[in-house]
Structure 1
């Protein structure tokens, strides 16, 4: 790509069999705000974010990742990206046009190399949002999404070539090789990461908290509510962000984080970190050790939505 057309991560959309339980989780203990609900679809916003919503839940018989949505700077950029994808032989699900979800806008959808549905949009109305106050332990915004791929390097190369993602860092090990590439579309260390997994699936969705105190208060609230904690609290080396990982009611991993590193893109050079070293996975040494359970839960279930566009 000759230009960087994507600006930020907008929302992650999930299909869930037990819709009511998931809605209670995200709009309850997790701290999002239900803004629209209609016929088994709910749109949930983060109070500190100008995005109309950061999570969409859809009632379905099978669990799947419906789509991942990114913003573009303008309608012209949306058209340019669609033309570039078509020229590159990428299958479009829809051509650029009106977006019929809260906030409207102009966008289109397509499949990535692993068969996930990706949406790109511009001119979406800004949601009335507010400053999150001190000690208020609810998400400010959607931070990043991590996706499992059976072919780590092929997926990284596809996102670099077709969507303009830049490589920030890699986690590797002398025993198993590369396991994660951190990718960015701004100076934020990563808006997406690609994890090596046995199948295509969602690895985790991360939500940004106001600061360290709010991150710890939120982590504690979710723990006290009896939600299964997988890993944390701790602080990663790559991205320098905090982490506490939980399972939502259908086994999707969700994370509270804060203080994700912002890079000087003119001077940044990617690192390869040896994740077998404990200080790489957790600088603080406060989290439970990375083990097979943490990895297994992060693999998630096989995504049944590969190369199948969501109905809405």
Structure 2
């Protein structure tokens, strides 16, 4: 039986010079709830999640501020910190009591590409609720995908450092491996690593209650005037639905639902899925065809936060 010290994806923190526009988009249209705002920093919760917040926005130069993962216990936090020290990973700070919304106990470090990663436990959970039938708001943050120039090296870092496992891989017959889907629990992926021209945010994805709510949410975002890059459709890897949009800062954001759960991890065998096959990208065949122009949307801007800790 697979046992890990990490438990789940906790939140995504982004900085943007279009703070006001971004905040309005995520609350008015995307369906997140503003739970706290002060001094150009906003904490946004997903109504179906007990996490104190799922997205943090900060006014500033565009970048990923950090991605946070949960650990089961304080002992797990300390053990992971010791493991990373033994690997000579650069730390932002050691395990300590956290002072942000929700508190908790955790540490921050730079991954192999320079992104800030947080591992925490004992946060003060909020009171979540069941999402109503046909309600077009996210249940939770589903997964985050990074671009990297060294796919295998970055993937191996997350395997070695945080005990992620590869669930499936997208491959091209001429270009080789393109994306690894990675899990830290029995969800098919909480993280994915994509080969790209530079390190950056590829996309972040939010889980909807079901297909009906996913479609209604997709329609709501279309009516907001946001541009849908790709979708609606259903992936092969993860078996989840997808609809990708561009937010006001140029980040790709996804509505999804029905992500696969791997019940027997010990006997799971990752598939290598050919991206030139239509059914790999979209089982239904309802989305616009994947092309180099669609793929380019998720290259995003070069991340300016590499090896630079966020101010909060």
Task: Please give the TM-score of this superposition, normalised by the length of structure 2.
Answer: 0.98
Distance in 1, Cα, partners of 2:46 & 2:211:
18
Query: Alpha-carbon deviation of 1:175?
Result: 2.1
Distance in 1, Cα, partners of 2:11 & 2:209:
19
Distance in 1, Cα, partners of 2:182 & 2:274:
18
Distance in 2, Cα, partners of 1:9 & 1:195:
18
Structure 1 residues 210-265: Cα deviation after superposition (integer angstroms, max 9, x where no partner): 00000000001101111011000000000000000000001000000000000121
1:186 aligns with 2:193: no
Distance in 1, Cα, partners of 2:126 & 2:297:
34
Distance in 2, Cα, partners of 1:95 & 1:3:
24
Distance in 1, Cα, partners of 2:223 & 2:278:
27
Query: What residue number does 1:8 align with?
Result: 8
Query: What residue number does 1:248 align with?
Result: 247
Distance in 1, Cα, partners of 2:202 & 2:101:
26
Flag structure 2 segments of 5+ consecutive residues without an equivalent. none
Query: Alpha-carbon deviation of 1:56?
Result: 0.3
Flag structure 1 segments of 5+ consecutive residues without an equivalent. none
| Matched residue SS, 1:307 | coil
Query: What residue number does 1:133 align with?
Result: 132
Query: What residue number does 1:287 align with?
Result: 287
Structure 1 residues 65-102: Cα deviation after superposition (integer angstroms, max 9, x where no partner): 00000000011111111111001111111010011111
Query: What residue number does 1:164 align with?
Result: 163
Distance in 1, Cα, partners of 2:6 & 2:266:
18
Structure 1 residues 170-192: Cα deviation after superposition (integer angstroms, max 9, x where no partner): 00011211100000001100000
Query: Alpha-carbon deviation of 1:4?
Result: 1.5
Query: Alpha-carbon deviation of 1:3?
Result: 5.6
Report if the CA contact (8 A) 1:3-1:164 is conserved.
no
Query: What residue number does 1:23 align with?
Result: 23
1:61-140 matches, within 5 Å, as 62-140=61-139
Query: What residue number does 2:152 align with?
Result: 153
| Matched residue SS, 2:266 | coil
Query: What residue number does 2:48 align with?
Result: 48
Distance in 2, Cα, partners of 1:199 & 1:40:
28
